[in-house]
Structure 1
């Protein structure tokens, strides 16, 4: 039992910061900058040499700390050390326990956290599996999941929640693909077999378009907004003027604004396309920002709490209260695009750049490095004058 003691405790495992933390006897807890935690053990295989003739010293992963407890990690590390001491390479001789589907999914989630734009997207990925897969197949060994088990998850929601079901299918496929790559499964992925075999019925999905207010009606509506004092009204005015997305406007912080250059720079991690976007600020937009300064807080359009932004439903609810529930906030981007093409005669690449849309092939975008800021500034200024009725 002495071999199962070490320096770490459960509290330390849960709270230690980024880095490699030793438990003793070659066992380490590795904490990534993202917060993901995993176990590794370093052993030297007796009598074996590496390519340089030195003793064969190797690190082996023992699993994520969210699914492998401290004691389990110590037990596995002890097993690996015993094999190495006997001259057996654990890579080929360790007895591998088949993880459950939930264990595998949570490990995949941890490993992919750094690839998501933000924690919310990563959590949504896991929540889909938590809600629709874990209750049915979460406790099953990952090597025992076939087409019937996948259909248990997909069939109940395939027609009623088709978009959710498609996302669930993709996430099931990813987990099972990773399990096969790790040596826990053999054969074809059952999700692929179900798709190629047309096992599930075809669902006709009606494409939903964001209902846009006709651009000719926007100035009158903007004037109505000016008569309201709520923060949601100011946020909606700014959204209309900037032609930006709801999340981009509500997530705006004071540090993103360059008052001297009259420029708002949205960082890449907050953009749908993952590319930094510069938004020219007109006098009308600057006036709104000046008015928001008095409220204080970290966000320009702050919510009830100083450290939190306005709810992403606030502007939509305002539209409904004003009797414009046939329109959406996102639709004002289409209003701007229609105006730019029909009234302003703006070139396509300028109008699309104002919306932070990527135009052309990957090769074309590689050569078109300019974000057309000067031309966009002129277009946004013209739109601002049209919307606000300024001379």
Structure 2
């Protein structure tokens, strides 16, 4: 027969911050952050505290996300029985430790609202599913040390180094959470492996997105202008704005201010997690204006109403055009090369145009301007060059470019 008390499963999930009693010394503690954990208060028979009073002590029973209400009641009953017999639960309790996979799955659920997007959240758990769960998933989380972590990392450390590096970060997170919930003690083995340089150093191979030469872009853009496909319109805008694929494809009309000649891409779609303002040039507006007639929520609507183009649409267009060895993302590099080699744009103006963060955190704290006016000048010159409105490609003196 199950034990009963004042709390219910629904209350456990919804009660606000504070200490909520279930009865018989069991409490649910809800932190201001929303974290929920169980504690039990017992008085150990025959034992006194430093002041000579009966020893009354609180013991943690684990987080409410991994320990159910009934489990907490069972454990609280076990602690009270030990205390009644004069046994201190701190040294005598037999704890039920969750497995590595159980903690990892709960961490994934808890952090779902914080993922940049659904795909990122799924990648997080998939890495553990593929490379950690088969080897350490069923091991109690308090029994995982350096040998167990190395079982996961060593086989892929050199051949799939980037995957292994992310795997180590995710294992570390799971073990850190387990320790915060009282299921582990001591140093995180991932940290010990890293600090002890147990695994060999792997030279990181720098790979770049294949980009079109800036000298070839005007002819390519002219080809795009003769095409009616929505993918062509999106690719034209991508070339002109220097934006990332997902930023452009998920662009909504509510983000566009034609009066201010400005497109504001919201933080949730930006790699840097901050709003990014893009000055709209005459050429960009020429691409956008006719699309308003579609009366879609999306600027670049796909096959389904009010839904964006597929993230492969522009790449497939490149392939149909016979453009090989070039990626959509690479057009950002094309712009950056032109900005440095032809326009002579100051580094900070060119980098902010690509929504790159520049300088240290301290420098960024003081330099809060996004250089919009200077970027507007640079982007106008870029649009003129891409569309063939610019008469030449002579390098501009820095004092006359993007200032």
Distance 2:29 2:285 in 1: 50
Distance 2:124 2:325 in 1: 31
Please say which of residues 354-363 and 117-126 is displaced more in the overlay.
117-126
Give, in angstroms, the shift of residue 208 of structure 1.
0.3
Judged with a 3 Å threshold, the aligned counterparts in structure 2 of structure 1 residues 304 and 27 are, in CA distance, closer, same or farther, namely: farther
Do 1:43 and 1:84's aligned partners in 2 also have CA atoms closer than 8 Å? no
| RMSD over equivalenced CA pairs, Å | 3.9
Written as runs of structure 1 = structure 2, the 5 A alignment for 1:223-372 is 223-372=222-371
Equivalent position SS for 1:3: coil
Judged with a 3 Å threshold, the aligned counterparts in structure 2 of structure 1 residues 179 and 340 are, in CA distance, closer, same or farther, namely: same
Distance 1:186 1:194 in 2: 17
Higher-Rg structure is 2
Distance 1:237 1:149 in 2: 51
Q: Equivalent residue for 1:148?
A: 147
Number of equivalenced pairs: 378
Q: Equivalent residue for 2:129?
A: 130
Do 1:45 and 1:89's aligned partners in 2 also have CA atoms closer than 8 Å? no
Equivalent position SS for 2:216: helix
Judged with a 3 Å threshold, the aligned counterparts in structure 2 of structure 1 residues 84 and 116 are, in CA distance, closer, same or farther, namely: farther
Distance 1:287 1:13 in 2: 57
Do 2:62 and 2:182's aligned partners in 1 also have CA atoms closer than 8 Å? no
Judged with a 3 Å threshold, the aligned counterparts in structure 2 of structure 1 residues 40 and 306 are, in CA distance, closer, same or farther, namely: farther
Q: Equivalent residue for 2:394?
A: none
Do 1:350 and 1:376's aligned partners in 2 also have CA atoms closer than 8 Å? yes
CA offsets, 1:62-108, max 9 Å, x none? Answer: 4354x445543554566678899999998998753222111222333
Distance 1:96 1:200 in 2: 33
Equivalent position SS for 1:159: coil
TM-score, structure 1 normalization: 0.80
Judged with a 3 Å threshold, the aligned counterparts in structure 2 of structure 1 residues 8 and 372 are, in CA distance, closer, same or farther, namely: same
Q: Equivalent residue for 1:63?
A: 63
Do 1:43 and 1:58's aligned partners in 2 also have CA atoms closer than 8 Å? yes
Give, in angstroms, the shift of residue 192 of structure 1.
3.3
Q: Equivalent residue for 1:3?
A: 3
CA offsets, 1:250-282, max 9 Å, x none? Answer: 222222112221111112222112222111112
TM-score, structure 2 normalization: 0.78
Q: Equivalent residue for 1:220?
A: 219
Give, in angstroms, the shift of residue 336 of structure 1.
0.8
Distance 2:190 2:312 in 1: 36
Give, in angstroms, the shift of residue 5 of structure 1.
7.3
Give, in angstroms, the shift of residue 189 of structure 1.
3.1
Any unmatched runs of 5+ in structure 1? 49-55
Do 2:213 and 2:334's aligned partners in 1 also have CA atoms closer than 8 Å? yes
Judged with a 3 Å threshold, the aligned counterparts in structure 2 of structure 1 residues 170 and 2 are, in CA distance, closer, same or farther, namely: closer
Please say which of residues 37-46 and 376-385 is displaced more in the overlay.
37-46
